[in-house]
Structure 1
Amino acid sequence: MADPIRVLVTGAAGQIAYSLLYSIAKGDVFGKDQPLILLLLDITPMLPVLDGVVMELQDCALPLLREVVPTDKEEVAFKDLDAAILVGSMPRKEGMERKDLLKANVAIFKSQGAALDKYAKKTVKVLVVGNPANTNCLITAKSAPSIPKENFSCLTRLDHNRARSQVAMRCGIPADNVRNVIIWGNHSSTQYPDVHHCKVSVKGEDKPAFDVVKDDTWLKGDFISTVQQRGAAVIKARKLSSAMSAAKAICDHMRDIWTGTAEGEFVSMGVYSSGNSYGVPDDLIYSFPVTIKNKTWKIVEGLEINDFSRAKMEATAAELVEERDTAISFLAV
């Protein structure tokens, strides 16, 4: 068997982590023959809860899980990491301005980026989940200058899965018959779920989504707003944020980084923009369609972008630029 890899989950006493840890520990993400050591980081008041999570992981008797390390110390959590899944963040509280939320999270992710820089392997793959995920990811990457920016990504796979599922339900087919939906931009209500390049498999034949759905008004209207507002809809119904679906998306995202995307298929990930793709400004973490091979992502280039799509892609980019500039003003403090 291979040597164990070291995998960190932050916010490890929270509800997303509770849905996530079992899947990681049993081999759904890094492979069925890959032993691992789980590092679980949370704030000091959550350590008693974390002890309960550790007991449950032990009680699962999972053959791949070699060790579980609960901690509130960054120097322990970030040591020699192969993968980091940064779930923990400051949630938005009632009456809190977005600016206040950004300020609180800049402090968290600046610190975690510095810890990655100091303690983790330079090959570490970092996935930022805690919101605002794109900007938190950018701050983390900026705070870890010795780790390549290409090693950082943020989660828009949940939105990707939501879009895929909406199209599948509309067509009355399984979700895996729908591929190459795209989430452009920010993991926020300005994101643009795009099906202009989506393929739907009907009786073994791939067809454009617009031809199969046969309802352009829905695809350009309610479909987009449903995906954009899905997180808020879940909170309204459950009185809690998405946990099961977020955990599944995290697994999908990290598994694709580790093992690659299928031939002819692309997925959505928030990745570093160098300003060369689709007119998106540089120095943003922006969700693009990507393919992955040998643990390296590549933006899918050359897709035709119509005026409808262009306007929505620019709107979400503008929000990200504003978020970035606000966050960077706090970074200097």
Structure 2
Amino acid sequence: MTRITIVTDAWYPQVNGVVRSIENTNRELDRMGVEVMMVTPQDFASVPCPTYPEIRLSIATYGRVAAAIEATQPTAVHIATEGPLGLLARRWCLKKHVPFSTSYHTRFPEYVAARFPVPLRWLHAFVRWFHNAGNGCMVATASLERELSKLGIKNLLRWSRGIDQTVFHPMELDERPFNLPRPIFLTVGRVAVEKNLPAFLDIDLPGSKVVVGDGPARADLQKRYPNVLFTGMKTGDELAHAYAQADVFVFPSKTDTFGNTILEALASGVPVAAYPVTGPIDIIEEGSGAGALNEDLREACLAALKCSRENARKLARNFTWEAASKQFLNNVMIAQGQRPMLKGPSTGARPSTA
């Protein structure tokens, strides 16, 4: 039996794209008969991350992480993040001559540089050093693959994302959702500096603006934008209902590597407005009628308002967790020096090396 040990610094109770991607992939791998073992911050003491206390940084020794990995008896190791656990897992793999894969989920250099006075070139050198030690670095999109290739990161493999369309789907529209006048321009995600929310909150739009999510910037933004509804974090049926009531989903981030929330909105039948950057340009196909991309976010919002809800839903059907998880498993096998195990439908991106 294939037994994959995934080491990640991002795990519950965090709610973000990294956690959701691993969670959904693990579910599909289990259905395929693949055993997945996890090494996460839940196994160790932790401290709050400076400037972002919602994220906990594990306090772990090499010996404890090594013992945790060895206890899982893996046939393959995947390191999902560049944090404390990821660094120690990398060290263990190199010391034991165990081939491993990694994934590039977030723009780590840009996120750190936004909070601390660290030169971006040093951070780029760090991620190059971290990922090039492995036998394959998984990325979600073609545009991100091109970016990282230019930075000197090698052995790039495509791992797209999916959407659970039994959870996120169109619903009957409320006449006055959130007790606000339509049209509803909604965004969902961490309320943090890297999400570029003021770019959305500053623009003049008809109707109402809604922000779903929580994070370190929420208190400040609520004071600055008293006419915007901040709902806090929503999950499950409440989150699905919130998406389905929007007229346009606004994605103002310029730093995400994919944008799982874009898929959730599309599956809910909501057109998307975003900048033409990595993530949105890989999902919102030109001519799809499912959304609008523009360097002027206001123009994108107004154009998306004219897009078809059915076109949004149609585009979302191209992305499934089953297909994305087959990509992940094949990539793990490639990193082990083995042939890919499975063939499956495209998720909008094919496994590749660059």
Higher helix share: 1
**TM exceeding 0.5:** no
TM bracket (short chain): 0.3 to 0.5
Q: TM-score, normalised by structure 2?
A: 0.36
- Provide the TM-score with structure 1 as the length reference: 0.38
